[in-house]
Amino acid sequence: MVTVTKNWDDSSSNDKRPVPDVSISTEKPSKNPLGYTITYHGNGLTFADGTTENEIIVNSSGKILSGQYKELVMPSIWYSDVNYTNKIELNSKGLPLNGVTSDLDLYAKSKTFVLKDGFDFRNLIPSTANSVVFTDEPMPVSATLIDVDADEDGGVVGWMILL
């Protein structure tokens, strides 16, 4: 067994050492060492479990490492900014179609269900259409989508089947 001793003199006492400037934060670090964090903010909308925020962690290849994407109770659109200027399209797993290259905060905006009026609606309908039928049926795969929603958020859509 080896014992190490140090001779302390007055110049090395704790009283004479400078005190380091240390701050402690309880804030969560912005970077997760496992991958990228995607935080889905409901912005007043709730997920099925009653929460208003959901978080998942994904790696650079898009594999979910932690958490699970949850759908909001109301139909909504996701944006990367609180002013709803940059729409983000998600795949069925809740991941951005353009991939994930950094931490993301996504903000929900509920869809509206207001039909364009008058000429704005009429100008979207091709001249080859024989009729306009309102339905809640799913759009056939062979149909062409027409967004007839007043704010173009996809809340009201039409589709055209070519015969």
Total domains, the chain: 2
Are 150 and 117 spatial neighbours (Cβ–Cβ below 8 Å)? yes
pLDDT tens digits, residue range 85-123?
899 999 988 899 988 888 999 999 988 888 888 888 888
> Taking the CA of residue 28 as centre, how many other CA atoms within 13 Å lie in the half-sphere pointing to its CB?
7
pLDDT tens digits, residue range 54-78?
999 998 888 999 999 999 888 888 9
- Start-to-end CA distance of the chain, whole Å, equals 93
Q: How far apart are CA 136 and CA 9, in angstroms?
A: 86
The residue out of 65, 80, 110 marking a domain boundary is: 110
Q: Are residues 97 and 145 in the same domain?
A: no
Specify the pTM.
Answer: 0.63
pLDDT for 10 beyond 60: no
pLDDT for 18 beyond 70: yes
**Domain interval for residue 67:** 36-110
